[in-house]
C-alpha cells in the first residue's frame, strides 16, 4: 500500500503549491489581504479558470509557491459535490507534478456558513482520495503517491477535524467497493469475496454470516445454487448485519455478486468480456455503503445480503429450459442463463422477507438495456415512489444520479412461460430493463417497501475525470450510505 495523504487543518503552512478551487465568479469577489488577493496583485486570471474541471497552473520561481486553480463551475446548490470533483482533479494534477505537500485554500469560494465549510472540507478530502486512487495491485510498477501532506486553510481547526474524518470514511468505503470490483475473478471467487468481506469487518460492529453448499438449498434457495452450479468455485450467500439502533426499521441492501458472467451456457459472444469480472459491482456497492455506515456509527438497523456466484458453462452447468422452484412458491423457466442476475437476486429478495425487512433496496449490474435507455451517467431506479425519491435525493448530493423508470404492469405478460409460472427473459425484444425489474418484483414481499437500482452503466469509468479514475467507480457506496444517514 502506498502512503495515504495526511490531511491537516490550520493556517499559514508552507507548501510548494497553493490550490484554489474557484467558482466562475470567484475572481470578482476576492477580498484584500487574502491569499487570492496576493496572487491577483501579480497575475491576471484567465476567463476560463472557474469552469468546471478546468486546471490552471501558475509556476513560481525559486522559493515562490506554485498556484493551482481548479474550476468548480457555477455557484450551484450542489457545490459540495462539485468540490469533490475539483479535489479529485487537483489531486491528480498535483501528483503528476511530483509535489510533496500542498496548501488548499477555500478563500475563493466566498463567504460560507459553518455547515457549508464542513461539507466542503469533507467533500475535498473525499474527492482527493478518490481522484488519486489507483488499482495497482497487479502492476510491477506501483503508483507513487507523492503528495503526502495536505494543509487545508481553516480557522476552526478542531470543529473541522470531524469533517476530515467524514471525508476519509466516505472515500474508504468507496475505495473498498472499487478494490472489490476491480479484482479479477481468479482473485475474487465467491468464497474469496466472502473472506475478504469477513476480514474487512473484523473488529467492527458488523456480523458476517457466510452461507455455502447445502445450506443454500436448506434455506430454500433456487437461483443462487443453480447459477453457481457450473463453476468449480461454489456460490456463497452473505448476510451481514449492523444494528446500532434496534428501534429503527430493518433496512436490507441486496447486491448482485456475480464474480464473473460468461453468460453460462447462453455464452456471451463478445471478444473481450474481461469487464464481466465487475458483475459484482452492485454487491461491492452495498458492502461499501455498510462500511461507511458502520464507520460513521450511524444509528441504523441494516442487513446487507450478497448473492455471489460465478456464471460459467460446464457439463454441470444450469441449462436453458430448466425450471427452478423458489421459496416463495414461484417457478421459473430459465430461458437464458445469461439472465442470471435476476435469478440470484430473487433468492435474496425472498430471504429479505423472511428476516423481517421493512425496506429493501437491491442494486445490480443487471441489464445492458438500462444503458441503452438512459445512458451511462444515470442509474435506473424502480419501485416505491417515496423510497425512490429519497434515494434520488441522496444521489443528487453525492453526484450519483438516478432516474426513475416505471414498473409497467402490462409488460408482465412478456415474462410468460409455456410451462412454468414465469420465464427469466422477456419474449418481446423491448423494455429489457423494465421486464428485469418486473421479474424481481415477483419475489418481493408486501411486508416491505422495495426499490431496485440497475447501475450497469455506472460501475466503471473509461477515463479519469474529477473523483473518478479509470476502472471501477464504487458507485452506490456513498449513495446508499447517504440515504441511510439522511433517514431520520
Ligand atoms: N451482467 C449482465 C449485464 C451486462 C451486459 C453488463 C453487458 C455489462 C455489459 C447481465 O447478466 C446480462 O447478461 N444481461 C443481459 C440480459 C439478457 C440476456 C436478457 C443483457 O442485458 O443483455
Ligand atoms: Zn448475464
Ligand atoms: Zn450478469
Q: Check if the beta carbon of residue 338 is closer than 8 Å to that of residue 261.
A: yes
pLDDT (tens digit per residue) in 196-218: 999 999 999 999 999 999 999 99
Quote the pLDDT of residue 33. Answer: 72
Ligand 1: residue of 227, 257, 261, 309 to mutate (most ligand atoms within 8 A of CB) is: 261
pLDDT (tens digit per residue) in 214-231: 999 999 999 999 999 999
Mean predicted confidence (pLDDT) in 39-49? 86
Q: Check if the beta carbon of residue 54 is closer than 8 Å to that of residue 93.
A: no
pLDDT (tens digit per residue) in 106-138: 999 988 899 999 999 999 999 999 999 999 999
Quote the pLDDT of residue 150. Answer: 92
Rounded percentage of the chain residues whose pLDDT exceeds 90: 85
In this structure, what C-alpha cell is assigned to residue 130?
478518490
Q: Determine the Cα–Cα distance for residues 250 and 343; give it in Å rounded to an integer.
A: 24
Determine if ligand 1 sits within 6 Å of the CB of residue 338: yes
**Domain match, 345 and 242 both:** yes
Quote the pLDDT of residue 220. Answer: 98
Determine if ligand 1 sits within 6 Å of the CB of residue 376: no
**Domain match, 184 and 244 both:** yes
**Domain match, 466 and 326 both:** yes
**Domain match, 188 and 122 both:** no
From 28-37, 59-68, 385-394, 424-433, the region with the lowest mean pLDDT = 28-37
Residue 75 covered by a domain: yes
Q: What are the strands, taking DSSP E only, across 371-448? A: 379-383, 402-404, 422-423
Mean predicted confidence (pLDDT) in 254-269? 97
The CATH number linked to 281 is 3.40.630.10
Question: Does 146 or 27 have the greater pLDDT score?
Answer: 146
Final residue belonging to a domain, choices 122, 155, 188? 155
Is the pLDDT at 249 greater than 80? The verdict is yes
Q: What angle do CA 129, 133, 135 make, to 5 degrees?
A: 155
The CATH number linked to 27 is 3.40.220.10
What ligand 1 atom has the least distance to the C-alpha of 340?
Answer: 11
pLDDT (tens digit per residue) in 80-109: 999 999 999 999 999 999 999 999 999 999
**Domain match, 248 and 321 both:** yes
Determine if ligand 1 sits within 6 Å of the CB of residue 368: yes
Active site annotation includes 377: no
Domain count, the chain: 2
Return the residue whose CA atom lies nearest to atom 22 of ligand 1.
Answer: 368
Spell out the residues 6+ positions from residue 458 whose beta carbon is closer than 8 angstroms to its own.
376, 377, 378, 379, 400, 473, 475
Active site annotation includes 401: no
pLDDT (tens digit per residue) in 145-154: 889 899 999 8
Quote the pLDDT of residue 29. Answer: 67
- Ligand 2 centroid to residue 107 C-alpha, Å: 49
Marked catalytic residue, from 342, 359, 442, 459: 342
Quote the pLDDT of residue 297. Answer: 98
Largest CA distance in the chain: 80
This prediction's pTM: 0.97
In DSSP terms, 360 is beta-bridged to 252, 450
Mean predicted confidence (pLDDT) in 394-413? 98
Tally of residues, the chain:
488
Question: Does 156 or 295 have the greater pLDDT score?
Answer: 295
Among 11-25, 60-74, 436-450, top mean pLDDT goes to 436-450
- Ligand 3 centroid to residue 265 C-alpha, Å: 13
Quote the pLDDT of residue 31. Answer: 67
Mean predicted confidence (pLDDT) in 367-377? 97
Structural domain span for residue 102: 6-155
Residue 10: helix, strand or coil by DSSP?
Answer: strand
**Domain match, 85 and 116 both:** yes
Question: In Å, how far are 50, 81, 365 from 27, measured between CA atoms?
Answer: 9, 21, 43
- Ligand 2 centroid to residue 292 C-alpha, Å: 29
Mean predicted confidence (pLDDT) in 393-410? 98
Burial class (CB within 10 angstroms; exposed 0-12, middle 13-18, buried 19+) of 407: middle
Q: Name the pLDDT band for 305 (thresholds 50, 70, 90).
A: very high
**Domain match, 231 and 367 both:** yes
Quote the pLDDT of residue 346. Answer: 99
First to last CA, the chain: 37
Is the pLDDT at 1 greater than 50? The verdict is no
Amino acid at each position: 500500500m502506498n502512503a495515504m495523504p495526511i490531511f491537516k487543518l490550520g493556517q499559514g503552512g508552507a507548501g510548494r503549491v497553493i490550490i484554489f478551487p474557484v467558482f466562475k465568479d470567484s475572481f470578482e469577489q476576492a477580498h484584500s489581504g487574502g491569499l487570492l488577493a496576493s496572487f491577483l496583485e501579480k497575475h491576471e486570471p484567465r476567463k476560463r479558470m472557474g469552469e468546471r474541471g478546468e486546471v490552471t497552473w501558475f509556476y513560481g520561481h525559486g522559493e515562490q509557491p506554485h498556484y493551482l486553480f481548479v474550476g468548480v463551475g457555477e455557484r450551484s446548490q450542489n457545490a459540495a459535490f462539485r468540490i469533490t470533483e475539483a479535489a479529485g482533479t487537483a489531486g491528480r494534477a498535483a501528483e503528476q507534478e511530483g509535489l510533496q505537500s500542498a496548501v488548499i485554500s477555500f478563500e475563493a469560494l466566498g463567504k460560507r456558513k459553518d455547515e457549508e465549510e464542513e461539507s466542503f472540507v469533507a467533500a475535498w478530502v473525499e474527492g482527493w482520495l478518490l481522484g488519486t486512487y489507483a488499482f495497482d495491485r497487479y502492476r510491477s510498477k506501483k503508483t507513487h503517491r507523492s503528495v503526502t501532506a495536505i494543509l487545508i486553510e481553516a480557522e476552526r481547526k478542531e470543529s473541522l477535524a470531524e469533517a476530515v474524518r467524514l471525508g476519509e470514511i466516505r472515500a474508504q468505503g468507496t475505495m473498498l467497493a472499487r478494490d472489490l470490483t476491480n479484482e479479477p475473478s481468479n482473485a475474487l471467487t465467491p468464497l474469496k469475496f466472502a473472506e475478504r468481506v469477513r476480514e474487512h469487518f473484523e473488529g467492527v460492529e458488523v456480523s458476517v454470516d457466510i452461507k455455502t453448499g447445502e445450506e443454500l438449498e436448506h434455506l430454500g434457495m433456487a437461483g443462487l445454487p443453480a447459477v453457481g452450479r457450473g463453476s468449480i468455485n461454489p456460490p456463497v450467500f452473505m448476510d451481514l448485519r449492523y444494528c446500532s439502533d434496534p428501534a429503527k426499521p430493518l433496512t436490507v441492501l441486496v447486491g448482485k455478486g456475480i464474480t464473473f458472467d460468461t453468460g453460462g451456457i447462453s455464452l456471451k459472444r463478445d471478444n473481450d468480456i474481461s469487464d464481466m469480472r465487475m458483475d459484482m459491482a452492485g454487491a461491492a456497492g452495498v458492502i461499501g455503503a455498510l462500511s461507511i455506515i458502520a464507520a460513521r456509527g450511524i444509528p441504523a438497523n441494516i442487513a446487507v445480503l450478497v448473492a455471489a456466484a460465478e456464471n460459467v458453462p460446464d457439463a454441470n452447468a444450469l441449462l436453458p429450459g430448466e425450471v427452478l422452484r423458489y421459496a416463495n412458491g414461484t417457478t421459473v423457466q430459465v430461458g437464458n442463463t445469461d439472465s442470471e442476475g435476476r435469478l440470484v437476486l430473487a433468492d435474496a429478495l425472498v430471504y429479505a422477507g423472511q428476516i423481517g425487512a421493512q425496506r429493501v433496496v437491491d442494486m445490480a449490474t443487471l441489464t445492458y438495456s438500462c444503458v441503452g435507455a438512459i445512458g451511462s451517467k444515470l442509474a435506473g431506479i424502480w419501485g416505491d415512489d417515496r423510497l425512490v425519491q429519497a434515494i434520488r435525493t441522496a444521489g443528487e448530493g453525492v453526484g450519483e444520479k438516478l432516474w426513475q423508470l416505471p414498473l409497467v404492469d402490462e409488460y408482465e405478460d412478456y415474462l410468460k412461460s409455456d410451462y412454468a409460472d414465469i420465464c427469466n427473459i422477456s419474449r418481446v425484444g423491448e423494455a429489457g430493463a423494465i421486464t428485469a425489474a418486473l421479474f424481481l418484483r415477483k419475489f418481493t414481499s408486501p411486508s416491505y417497501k422495495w426499490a431496485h437500482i440497475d447501475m450497469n452503466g455506472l460501475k466503471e469509468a473509461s477515463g479519469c475525470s474529477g473523483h473518478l479514475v479509470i476502472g471501477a467507480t464504487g458507485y452506490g457506496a456513498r449513495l446508499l450510505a447517504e440515504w441511510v444517514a439522511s433517514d431520520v
